[in-house]
């Protein structure tokens, strides 16, 4: 069964506490938080104060995805805010190996996100140092986009690399994940499904999480 990480970007920010309590009481495993700076991606969301506020309510690990330039400046701040998993973009990290080491030294799991155009082979030499690879199956910046079909090939390619190296790296996919394509993604090798609109736009978000969690049983 995959891990499920509902994306708070698609939640109702006016009811943030209630949305978090719904996730707390659901079969979700993580809580996905998209941090955007308006520079790396053309959108602005929230930063450390909001993450810290969510941490007070959340009873599941905070899966924090940094879509920002110079992410290394903020590692300590997000650690203090309560991030459990901290993911940086390959495209925004000049010294990726160093960043991964610092994230782990701060007590968090280290993730690397890849944009749709970035070859998965770029991670060959650091794969053993990565806890989670976040495959972007849409162009980052906005929720509700359509899944890019080429992603399934890239997931299989990454899974082969992980198996070949005997790494324990998890594969997470973010963007356009639905109840319809979740089974295919898990069969391709995905360990963690990030779902935003699929969960929060549904009539019964907790039941949708349950159905996603049941994929691959």
Catalytic residues: 34, 174
Yes or no: say if 30 and 85 are a contact pair by the CB < 8 Å rule: yes
CA-CA distance, 32 to 6, in Å (whole number)? Answer: 6
Helix, strand, coil tally for the chain in percent (to 5): 45, 20, 35
Yes or no: say if 186 and 2 are a contact pair by the CB < 8 Å rule: yes
Q: Torsion angle, CA of 48/139/7/100, rounded to 10 degrees?
A: -50
Q: Where do runs of H (alpha helix) occur along the chain?
A: 16-24, 48-57, 75-81, 96-105, 151-165, 182-188, 197-200, 205-213
Neighbours of 170 (CB within 10 A): 20
CA-CA distance, 68 to 88, in Å (whole number)? Answer: 8
Structure tokens at 136: 């972007």
Q: Please give the biggest Cα pair distance in the chain.
A: 46
């Amino acid at each position: 069964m995959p891990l499920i990480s509902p994306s708070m970007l698609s939640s109702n920010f006016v009811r943030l506490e209630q949305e978090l309590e719904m996730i707390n009481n659901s079969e979700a495993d993580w809580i996905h938080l998209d941090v955007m700076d308006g520079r790396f991606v053309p959108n602005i969301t929230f930063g450390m104060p909001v993450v810290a506020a969510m941490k007070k309510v959340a009873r599941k690990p905070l899966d924090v995805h940094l879509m920002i330039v110079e992410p290394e400046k903020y590692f300590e701040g997000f650690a203090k805010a309560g991030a459990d998993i901290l993911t940086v973009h390959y495209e925004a990290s000049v010294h990726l190996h160093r960043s991964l080491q610092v994230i782990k030294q701060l007590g968090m799991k280290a993730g690397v996100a890849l944009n749709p155009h970035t070859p998965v082979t770029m991670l060959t030499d650091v794969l053993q140092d990565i806890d989670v690879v976040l495959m972007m199956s849409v162009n980052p910046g906005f929720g509700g986009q359509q899944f890019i079909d080429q992603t399934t090939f890239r997931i299989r390619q990454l899974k082969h690399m992980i198996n070949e190296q005997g790494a324990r790296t998890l594969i997470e996919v973010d963007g356009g994940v639905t109840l319809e394509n979740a089974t295919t993604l898990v069969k391709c090798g995905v360990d963690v499904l990030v779902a935003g609109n699929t969960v929060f736009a549904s009539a019964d978000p907790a039941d949708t999480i349950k159905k996603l969690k049941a994929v691959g049983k």
